[in-house]
């Protein structure tokens, strides 16, 4: 069973999410929180696998709560709920450690698939969507950017090439076609890139590629 903590300040939405998740068969809602300020204590109390996190809440918002959750050793994964796919808070939530985001009007089946993916350790944000977020926020002064690019020195030429294509929004299959490789080989390269750079998933890899200047926003 996947243990899920639901965090949202709207009671009606929490009730709807609980109904969907409890009927999934492989998920259990272990708690509900109405504000980010409650999240840390509830994570300690309920030990969820995934926190379904609203991004906009009145006191402690989802970005700050995500940062606190992901700072815990062995803490749960965070899947952000948002109203708009270019919400100005989503980029900050990804940087804070969220494994991705979904829209509040998503279909129930897609919501369940996203939770399962995040519980497995995958990132569920499509790279092209992540790229749009980054292009909107890189260089706005909201973060201490850019990085120097020294982080990329550990990568081979092929790995840098793969990372560039990942950051441009290509899937593993598309990268394989572009570079005349098998999809399994591309997956292996992506895994090595994440390990060498100490990154959690390809979302963080895309962010790092932009911050290091490997590709430029809007390019």
CATH code of residue 171: 1.10.10.10
Identify whether the C-beta of residue 98 lies closer than 8 Å to the C-beta of residue 130: no
Number of residues that this document lists for the chain: 219
Q: Say yes or no: 78 and 141 in one domain.
A: no
Residue 2: the pLDDT is 96
Q: Say yes or no: 30 and 82 in one domain.
A: yes
Domain with 152, as residue range(s), is 136-211
Residue 174: the pLDDT is 87
Q: What residues are paired with 82 via a beta bridge?
A: 103
Q: What is the pTM of this model?
A: 0.71
Residue 86: the pLDDT is 58
| Residue 14 is assigned to a structural domain of this protein | yes
Residue pLDDT tens, the chain, 219 long? 999 999 999 999 999 999 999 999 999 999 999 988 899 999 999 999 999 999 888 888 888 999 999 888 888 999 998 886 656 677 788 888 888 888 888 889 989 988 998 898 777 765 556 666 666 665 554 444 445 567 788 899 999 999 999 888 777 888 999 999 999 999 999 999 999 998 877 777 887 887 788 876 555
The pair of structure tokens assigned to 115 is 């939770």
Opening angle at CA 172, ends 119 and 209, nearest 5: 85
Q: Which residue has the tokens 């990942």?
A: 166
Residue 32: the pLDDT is 95
Pick the closest to residue 55 from 12, 9, 18, 23 (CA basis): 9
Q: Say yes or no: 37 and 75 in one domain.
A: yes
Q: Is 125 helix (H, G, I), strand (E, B) or coil?
A: coil
């Amino acid at each position: 069973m996947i243990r899920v903590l639901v965090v949202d300040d709207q009671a009606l939405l929490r009730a709807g999410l609980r109904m969907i998740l409890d009927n999934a068969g492989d998920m259990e809602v272990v708690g509900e929180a109405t504000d980010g300020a409650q999240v840390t204590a509830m994570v300690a109390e309920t030990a969820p696998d995934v926190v379904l996190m609203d991004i906009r809440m009145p006191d402690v918002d989802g970005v700050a709560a995500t940062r606190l959750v992901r700072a815990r050793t062995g803490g749960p994964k965070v899947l952000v709920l948002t109203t708009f796919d270019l919400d100005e808070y989503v980029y900050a939530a990804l940087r804070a450690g969220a494994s991705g985001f979904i829209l509040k009007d998503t279909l129930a089946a897609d919501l369940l698939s996203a939770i399962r993916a995040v519980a497995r350790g995958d990132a569920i944000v499509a790279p092209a969507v992540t790229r749009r977020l980054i292009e909107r926020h890189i260089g706005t002064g909201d973060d201490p950017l850019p990085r120097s690019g020294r982080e990329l020195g550990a990568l081979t030429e092929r790995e840098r090439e793969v990372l560039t294509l990942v950051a441009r929004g290509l899937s593993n299959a598309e990268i394989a076609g572009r570079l005349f490789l098998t999809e399994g080989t591309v997956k292996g390269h992506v895994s090595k890139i994440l390990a060498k750079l100490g990154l959690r998933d390809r979302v963080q890899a895309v962010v790092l590629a932009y911050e290091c200047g490997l590709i430029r926003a809007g390019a």
